[in-house]
A and B are shown apart, each in its own frame.
Chain A
Amino acid sequence: MFAGPAAVLFCAVVIIPLIYGFYLTFTSWDGISNNKPFVGGSNYAEAFKDLPFWQSMGRTLIYSAIAVVLVNVVAFLLAYMVTRGIKGQNFFRAGFFIPNLIGGIVLGYVWKFVFNSAFTAIGKSLGIGFLKNSWLGTPTGAMTCMIFVAVWQYAGYMMLIYVAGFMSVSKSLIEAAQIDGCTQSQATWKVIVPLMRSSFVQCLFLTITRCFMVYDVNLTLTEGGPYNSSVMAAMHVYRTAFTERAFGRGQAEALILFIVCAIVGITQVYVGRKGEVAA
């Protein structure tokens, strides 16, 4: 009885829709009419033939691959620097986290203004060629902007996890390494980093899943443009279902996206955990 309310709500919004959604993929429902004609596997066949969907998937993969690497490199470097006992390091930590407080919708619009107005103004006044025209105007530029914002948005959050990782490595281990003749950088790379493996696994998992499912920033920063060149998979699913009103195919594509994301994420966790060292 205690668990009742939580269990009911959880089933109502997660379990039932999940099962019902699986059923929907076998129908050709338009979102309005009451009858949902059963069409067998044709939605999946259509989804596999849907070229824009696979283009958006490819785009999402490239975007995720680059963004995940950059986010984690930046986050790790920041975490390293703010755990050295530098003056004002708590201030820096707090500052780097700010982008995570604000929703993707607002962030996207703020950056849109920055890319369109501020960067072009800098380019014009300093005569820097590649800044003179808004990056959002070209396909590669728009993708670059998406990656740029992803790094800016998530680096602070991942930094906090890496900071927690740095803190969890006990001081005595580092001292022991230094007594054994390790230099600072050897102690970092050979003692601390291997012991932080679980932080890496976790950050990678979080960034991978978030990048795969990016929607808010995509919607407000590029709106999928120019010429649909930056439509990510999540946005394509949304459009298929709610704009084209092909709910069955949209749901089939959502499931495919989820499966790809889950495979990548779980493989990463599995590979990462395998070599974990215990202190």
Chain B
Amino acid sequence: MYEIENAKAARNRKIAHAIMWIILLIFFVAFIFPFVVALINAFKANTDINRFPLALVGPRKGFILSNFPTAMVKMDFWRVFFNSLIITVCSTVLTLLFSGMCAFVVTRNNWKACRILFALMIASMVIPFQVLMIPLVSIYGGTLNVLNHRLTLILMHTGFSVSMATFMYSGAIKTNIPLELEEAALIDGCTRWQTYWKVVYPLLGPTTATVAIIDAMAFWNDYLLPSLVLTNKPLYTIPIATQIFYGSMGGSDMGCVLAALILAMLPILILYLVMQKYIVEGVTSGAVKG
């Protein structure tokens, strides 16, 4: 009797799993559909794109590669790629350095200034960038005239991201680092500076990874702030270059545009393939804490 029941339950489970698997597959296809369409059309000539956007290979001109070199030259791919890379790496490193130290001070000292700073940082996380962009341009563009420098953008990125990062580091210091450890280091003759870099910071590894992943992705993909700060062509980052490139080509050379879009997506997709596990974990833990 029980065995029959169990067999029946097992069969139902199998059917339910099969149905869910099919639904998931449909969703999956829907999720990657745009990428596939963009990819297959990037290898076609324009006449084929217009007439047969769904064909795997262009029926008239066939499989062509020439869109990619053209797009690379026209949007100055390597230059914008390195611009994006420099800005992302520098901003991420600065965020990690500054916010870790800031969190250490704020968490371990009960000074009034620290508490006010920390409270302000937490409150500021709800302020959207649109509220700050106009005064930002007005101060740094009009009064100080420091726009169109990579360093300005790097420091601004850092300034915007330190609050979230400090919050996450502070949580990690509170829960993961026992006070006794720091006291022991102090007794052994460490200065505060040494205690932080040699004892505390190495223990914050997982948080560092999470913050680095979240911020690096945000910096790499950011458009609005860079587009306001960097208006000189040689300084463009990938998102700005893509937008300008599309604007200049319009719908006239779709093959080239799609090749440029693929090029813009490629670096981060490759990174995802390599570090998929860390990225998914980092983003999840960042969102759940933040």
Q: Which residues of A contact B (CB under 8 A)?
A: 2-3, 5-7, 9-10, 12-18, 20-21, 24, 29, 31, 34, 74, 78, 81-82, 84-89, 92-106, 109-111, 113-114, 117-118, 121-122, 125, 152, 156-157, 160-161, 163-164, 202, 206, 209, 212-213, 215-216, 219-220, 234, 237-238, 241-242, 247, 250-251, 254-255, 257-258, 261-262, 265
Contacts of A3 in B (CB 8 A): 101-102, 105-106, 114, 117
Which residue in A94, A105, A114 is a CB contact (below 8 Å) of B223? A105
| Interface assignment of B38: CB less than 8 Å from any CB of chain A | yes
**Besides A109-B257, A160-B287, A164-B284, 10 other A-B contacts (C-beta < 8 A):** A17-B135, A20-B138, A24-B134, A81-B20, A103-B223, A111-B34, A114-B38, A117-B254, A206-B287, A257-B128
Which residue in A14, A81, A87, A238 is a CB contact (below 8 Å) of B160? A14
| Interface assignment of B261: CB less than 8 Å from any CB of chain A | yes
Contacts of A254 in B (CB 8 A): 130-131, 133-134
**30 pairs from A and B in contact (CB 8 Å cutoff):** A2-B101, A6-B162, A10-B120, A10-B124, A13-B159, A14-B124, A16-B139, A18-B127, A21-B131, A29-B138, A31-B138, A31-B142, A85-B17, A86-B21, A92-B27, A93-B280, A95-B31, A101-B217, A102-B268, A104-B223, A105-B221, A109-B246, A117-B37, A117-B49, A160-B280, A161-B284, A220-B243, A254-B130, A254-B131, A258-B130
B interface, how many residues as a size bin? 35 or more
Tell me the smallest distance from the CB of A274 to a CB of chain B, in Å: 19
Which residue in A24, A157, A238, A247 is a CB contact (below 8 Å) of B130? A238
Which residues of B in the span 28-58 have a Cβ within 8 Å of any Cβ on A?
A: 28, 30-35, 37-38, 41, 49-50, 52-54
Contacts of A247 in B (CB 8 A): 134, 138
| Cα A17 to Cα B23 with chains together (Å) | 48
| Cα A20 to Cα B264 with chains together (Å) | 36
| Interface assignment of B186: CB less than 8 Å from any CB of chain A | no
Contacts of B127 in A (CB 8 A): 14, 18, 258
Contact with A along B135-155 (1 / 0, CB 8 A): 111110010000000000001
Tell me the smallest distance from the CB of B12 to a CB of chain A, in Å: 9
